[in-house]
A and B are shown apart, each in its own frame.
Chain A
């Protein structure tokens, strides 16, 4: 079954992706993120025909704890966060620490410095 890519964020963030052909998008103005981002993210996560959700890493801070946890652990659809200078999807680092017992991200960041 073919699926689509969805983008959630400000109009400024989503326009570029729409230019690349993405048609599933939710525009949430900067000043309304606190109130509306949760609903927009939950909405795209519940869509069966969406396989990948793209968000800006900084927008995760606007999400409620429950939705953020869903975003961090969701596999279908997968949420890919970009920007914000983060080293990949958040929550992954904690999960690595829990599963492997070592902070591998920290080691690699240290090695890169």
Chain B
């Protein structure tokens, strides 16, 4: 990977800029991941309380409907269930937690009064009313559980993707960039050393040439002097 890069000063500067940006991105993403985990921990505590409520309410609701079935018969309970007029509805709004859009679910028409339910008061007993009430309570906690569990799922998705990005920067992008930086620095140093060695050689050669020239000049001068003396 590092050897694909041309060892030039321009590339070195570019890689240094990318290292700087990647390091800053890595730190920011690490902070984001830690923040999301803290938010998730808060929601997890809440989720566990809601989950306990759901299980408890489900158990209570089952007991009341079993009692209603035993006293009134299954047909009467189903008949009452089929006669319901009002239906619960939910409205989903969005809430933002550190850039993660989580739902805020509001339920309406879950808890109903006796006359709103729609089945006849005379033909049914209080056992069925109790069962209906217990299931209305259960639906309310289910709506809360849906809100909290969706928020958890979304936060977990975001934590996972942030973690992947942090790991990619930490274990792939940054090591590759450091390797390229080291490679270019080494190559540039090598080129510098070669250049110095070459310059020294050229200088030595020049000095030798000058020395040889000076020697030949002095020899020819000496020869000329000897000629005039004769």
Contact = CB atoms under 8 A, between A and B. Distances in A.
Contacts of B146: 51-52, 78, 80
Contacts of B110: 20-21
11 contacts: A2-B89, A5-B88, A17-B139, A20-B88, A20-B138, A21-B117, A22-B88, A23-B84, A88-B51, A99-B160, A100-B37
Contacts of B152: 92
B26 to A, nearest CB: 18
A5 to B, nearest CB: 6
B186 interface: no
Contacts of A78: 103, 146, 149-150, 153
Contacts, number: 128
Given A3-B90, A15-B78, A21 B109 contact: yes
B92 A51 contact: yes
Contacts of A2: 89-91, 108
Interface in B103-157: 103, 105, 108-110, 112, 117, 128, 131-132, 134-136, 138-139, 142-143, 145-146, 149-150, 152-154, 156
A64 interface: no
Interface of A: 1-5, 11, 15-23, 51-52, 54, 73, 75, 78, 80, 82-83, 85, 87-89, 92, 95-96, 98-100, 104, 108
A52 B88 CA distance: 11
B220 interface: no
Interface stretch (B12-20, B40-48, B192-200): B40-48
A43 B169 CA distance: 42
B10 interface: no
Contacts of B135: 16-17, 19-20
A82 B53 CA distance: 11
Identify which of A19, A51, A92 gathers the most chain B CB atoms within 10 Å of its CB: A19
Given A19-B132, A52-B143, A82-B142, A75 B84 contact: no
Given A20-B136, A20-B139, A21-B110, A92 B89 contact: no
B32 interface: no
Given A16-B81, A104-B44, 20 more contacts: A1-B92, A4-B89, A5-B139, A15-B65, A16-B138, A18-B82, A19-B131, A20-B135, A20-B139, A21-B109, A21-B139, A22-B88, A78-B146, A80-B149, A82-B55, A82-B138, A83-B58, A85-B55, A98-B160, A99-B156
